[in-house]
């Protein structure tokens, strides 16, 4: 009988074994539990929510019935036709914000999957940290190829088993090892084997890829500046272009015409790309007309309105205003059918707006402005909307639940109604104490509007006003926040849950601002004047509690940075003299530090004697370590 007859799921370390007849063999077997194959390992690095039929995308937008037919047919036919000699391997679905790109891609993905032609899909989204980074793209595509093309499962799994560190390597290496080499291996054995494979790979929302990879760095201010969206997007495009000629697939990409993407398709990829420009789609108007007629018919039946509502003239006016932007039509429908139960009055408000059709997004901007004007304080509503969608956790980049956001911003149930009560057609607002749901915009086009001072006008909130509001609320609610999520006092330091405010502007200094007193004060010091309210808040007991928490957690960096930052011109400090507030805060830091056996370094003592105060409008990035532990000299 063989030595290991019917044995499975064990490993043997060391030793020499002889399988001789009638010999008594003693084997020391170390049971290791089930042995994972490469696909199981690969699965851990997959962004499952990015796949077209993920449960997380159960409400993904799709094209309304009988709309976008020509575009869908064009894409499905192009994706199903494959000729190895044809240099056109990429398709770029180009469209402005709200043109319906994601709905088209989702509809095409469903049709291709139904016909057995979808090899893999990936839907980027700025809302989801697992699918707003480049690092999850190739593993997710490779995992789907292993699932959808059975003959690729073993070689892809073997590639992972051979080098589990592949997920720490760049996109080029991942594409080579996880996709190109397995395909080449099976093709070498049978050159015609790929003829029966599904041919389409769909990648949507490339412009929403926000970084190459979320960094797990402990630097408390910013992530590395090279971790930008432009580099990530360019890298993805270059890898796809370089590998496309070796792949038996056609790749459909959809995005806005942002600079790095537009330059890529106008340059290196021009000769291998099929372009579909939704901005010039002649059928868009008729598709929007069908959509509006269908949805208004549903609203008319719901509220028992007259059969003639709305009139054909109103429908045509809305189609003209949309300017081929489906987001306009969708927002109109949500606004007309909002919780006020006044569809006729709401539609009348939209049709009464004056629209300058010579300007891009004019009708959309006018509608956004009109919706905000219904709020009791439009400016406060715009500010709070910017804040709630910008807050997220630092290391995971997930959005905090509504309860934490409401605690930070001091929003009671009555405040939610006052601030967001008229904005339900623009943003999904969770219940006041909701511990799982988050604030979520229906479309990113609203953020584009609010961030553009020329478009938003008096609804535009300057960056320094946002940081002032965050600073005030962070200080006032610090104790409540500690009880709610206790980021600095986490019992699992490897998994901090510190909040940041991200404007998603591409500027590293303003993009990721940790919600700490020192980081927010640093941003405020860039203003030409420091608000008087900030000085009053710095004297509150919550600031003392924050200082003690940093010192108890041995956070030398933050304590040192605050020690430097409070020596500020706005606090009456001069080169040879500290102002009252500076003296007050520095004494708190020194006293709290002494209680934990901190001592000042020589650089700290010298800094007190001759240092120039922080000037208004100048950055103070820190970096000086002014304290150490007396027991760690």
Confidence category of residue 622, pLDDT binned at 50, 70, 90: low
In a domain, 390, yes or no: no
User: 280, 301, 319 — which closes off a domain?
Assistant: 280
**Closest among 53, 99, 80, 117 to 276, alpha carbons compared:** 99
Q: Are residues 229 and 122 in the same domain?
A: yes
- Give me the pLDDT at residue 127, please: 81
| More confident call, 214 vs 296 | 296
Give the global pTM: 0.76
Q: Are residues 235 and 321 in the same domain?
A: no
Q: How far apart are the first and last CA of the chain?
A: 67
State percent of the chain over pLDDT 90.
53
Q: Are residues 299 and 256 in the same domain?
A: no
Q: Are residues 299 and 273 in the same domain?
A: no
Flag whether pLDDT at 547 surpasses 80: yes
Q: Are residues 614 and 553 in the same domain?
A: yes
Flag whether pLDDT at 221 surpasses 50: no
In a domain, 392, yes or no: no
39 near 160, Cβ under 8 Å? yes
Helix H or strand E encompassing 512: strand 512-514
In a domain, 32, yes or no: no
Flag whether pLDDT at 396 surpasses 80: no
- Give me the pLDDT at residue 30, please: 46
Q: Are residues 228 and 264 in the same domain?
A: yes
In a domain, 366, yes or no: yes
Q: Which domain holds residue 554?
A: 516-633
Confidence category of residue 496, pLDDT binned at 50, 70, 90: very low
In a domain, 504, yes or no: no
Out of 212-216, 368-372, 574-578, give the one with best mean pLDDT. Answer: 368-372
Residues recorded for the chain: 633
- Give me the pLDDT at residue 492, please: 40
Distance CA(359)–CA(573), nearest Å, equals 50
299 near 336, Cβ under 8 Å? yes
Spell out the alpha helix ranges (H) of 10-96.
38-43, 69-80
| Token pair recorded at residue 247 | 């792949």
Q: Are residues 199 and 307 in the same domain?
A: no
256-309 per-position pLDDT tens digit: 988 889 999 998 899 999 999 998 887 899 999 999 999 999 999 999 999 999
- Give me the pLDDT at residue 3, please: 57
Out of 120-124, 211-215, 324-328, 353-357, which region has the weakest mean confidence (pLDDT)? 211-215
- Give me the pLDDT at residue 483, please: 63
| Residue that has been written with the tokens 């996109």 in this structure | 171
Q: Are residues 344 and 239 in the same domain?
A: no
Q: What is the CA radius of gyration of the chain?
A: 29
- Give me the pLDDT at residue 119, please: 97
What's the mean pLDDT in 604-626?
Answer: 60
Distance CA(148)–CA(80), nearest Å, equals 16
Q: Are residues 350 and 260 in the same domain?
A: no
What's the DSSP call for residue 177?
Answer: I
In a domain, 23, yes or no: no
Confidence category of residue 632, pLDDT binned at 50, 70, 90: very low
- Give me the pLDDT at residue 624, please: 59
Q: Are residues 57 and 169 in the same domain?
A: yes
Q: Are residues 186 and 127 in the same domain?
A: yes
- Give me the pLDDT at residue 491, please: 40
In a domain, 33, yes or no: no
| More confident call, 225 vs 203 | 203
Dihedral pair phi/psi, residue 274, rounded to 5°: -100, 120
What's the mean pLDDT in 417-427?
Answer: 93
562-581 per-position pLDDT tens digit: 888 888 888 888 877 888 99
Beta bridge partners of 514: 500
Mean pLDDT of the chain: 84
CATH of the domain at 47: 3.40.50.300
> Count of CB atoms within 10 A of residue 66's CB?
11
Beta bridge partners of 590: none
What's the mean pLDDT in 68-95?
Answer: 91
Domain count, the chain: 3
317 burial level (CB within 10 Å; 0-12, 13-18, 19+) = middle
**Within 13 Å, how many C-alpha atoms sit on residue 157's CB side?**
15
Dihedral pair phi/psi, residue 527, rounded to 5°: -75, 160
User: 373, 404, 424 — which closes off a domain?
Assistant: 373
- Give me the pLDDT at residue 506, please: 41
Angle at Cα 520 formed by Cα 494 and Cα 569, nearest 5°? Answer: 135
Flag whether pLDDT at 593 surpasses 90: no
In a domain, 461, yes or no: no
Q: Are residues 289 and 273 in the same domain?
A: no
Confidence category of residue 49, pLDDT binned at 50, 70, 90: very high
What's the mean pLDDT in 205-223?
Answer: 61
29 near 10, Cβ under 8 Å? yes
- Give me the pLDDT at residue 454, please: 93
Asked if residue 305 has a cis previous peptide bond (ω within 30° of 0), the answer is: no
> Count of CB atoms within 10 A of residue 428's CB?
14
- Give me the pLDDT at residue 515, please: 87
Flag whether pLDDT at 21 surpasses 70: no
């Amino acid at each position: 009988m063989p030595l290991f007859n019917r044995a499975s799921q064990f490993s043997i370390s060391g030793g020499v074994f002889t399988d001789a007849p009638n010999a008594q063999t003693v084997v020391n077997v170390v049971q290791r539990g089930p042995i994972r194959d490469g696909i199981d390992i690969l699965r851990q690095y997959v962004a499952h929510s990015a796949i077209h039929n993920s449960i997380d995308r159960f409400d993904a937008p799709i094209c309304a019935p009988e709309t976008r037919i020509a575009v869908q047919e064009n894409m499905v036919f192009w994706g199903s036709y494959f000729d190895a000699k044809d240099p056109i391997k990429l398709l770029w679905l180009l469209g402005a914000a709200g043109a319906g790109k994601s709905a088209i891609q989702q509809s095409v993905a469903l049709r291709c999957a139904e016909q057995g032609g979808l090899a893999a899909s990936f839907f980027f989204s700025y809302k989801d940290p697992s699918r707003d980074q480049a690092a999850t793209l190739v593993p997710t595509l490779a995992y789907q190829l292993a699932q959808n093309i059975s003959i690729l499962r073993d070689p892809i799994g073997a590639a992972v088993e051979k080098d589990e560190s592949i997920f720490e390597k760049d996109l080029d290496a991942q594409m080579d090892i996880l996709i190109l080499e397995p395909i080449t291996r099976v093709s070498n054995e049978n050159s015609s084997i790929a003829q029966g494979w599904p041919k389409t790979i769909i990648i949507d929302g490339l412009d929403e890829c926000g970084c190459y990879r979320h960094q797990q760095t402990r630097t408390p201010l910013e992530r590395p500046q090279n971790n930008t969206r432009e580099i990530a997007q360019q890298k993805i495009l270059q890898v796809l272009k370089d590998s496309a000629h070796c792949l038996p697939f056609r790749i459909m990409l959809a995005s806005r015409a942002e600079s790095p993407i537009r330059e890529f398709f106008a340059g290196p990829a021009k000769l291998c790309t099929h372009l579909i420009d939704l901005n010039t789609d002649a059928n868009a108007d008729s598709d929007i007309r069908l959509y509006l007629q269908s949805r208004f018919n549903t609203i008319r039946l719901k509220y028992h309105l007259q059969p003639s509502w709305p009139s054909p003239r109103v429908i045509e006016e809305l189609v003209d205003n949309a300017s081929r932007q489906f987001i306009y039509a969708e927002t109109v429908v949500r606004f007309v059918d909002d919780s006020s139960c006044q569809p006729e009055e709401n539609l009348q408000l939209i049709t009464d707006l004056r629209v300058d059709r010579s300007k891009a997004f004019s009708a959309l901007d006018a509608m956004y402005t009109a919706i905000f004007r219904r709020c009791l304080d439009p400016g406060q509503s715009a500010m709070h909307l910017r804040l709630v969608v910008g807050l997220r956790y630092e290391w995971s980049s997930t959005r905090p639940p509504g309860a934490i956001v409401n605690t930070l911003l001091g929003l009671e149930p009555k405040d939610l109604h006052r601030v967001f009560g008229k904005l339900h057609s623009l943003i999904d607002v969770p219940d006041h104490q909701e511990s799982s749901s988050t604030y979520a915009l229906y479309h990113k086009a609203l953020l584009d509007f609010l961030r553009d001072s020329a478009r938003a006008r008096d609804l535009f909130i300057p960056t320094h006003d946002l940081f002032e509001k965050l600073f005030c609320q962070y200080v006032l609610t610090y104790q409540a926040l500690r009880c709610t999520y206790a980021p600095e006092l986490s019992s699992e330091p490897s998994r901090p849950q510190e909040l940041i405010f991200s404007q998603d502007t591409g500027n590293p200094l303003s993009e990721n601002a940790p919600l700490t007193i020192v980081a927010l004060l640093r941003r405020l010091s860039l203003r030409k004047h420091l608000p008087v309210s900030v000085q009053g808040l710095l004297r509150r007991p919550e600031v003392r509690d924050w200082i003690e928490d940093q010192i108890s957690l041995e956070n030398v960096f933050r304590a040192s940075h605050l020690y430097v930052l409070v020596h500020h011109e706005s606090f009456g400090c001069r080169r040879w003299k500290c102002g009252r507030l500076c003296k007050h805060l520095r004494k708190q830091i020194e006293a709290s530090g002494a209680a934990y056996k901190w001592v000042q370094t020589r650089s700290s003592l010298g800094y007190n004697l001759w240092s120039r105060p922080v000037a208004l409008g100048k950055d103070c990035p820190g970096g000086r370590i002014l304290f150490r532990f007396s027991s760690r000299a």
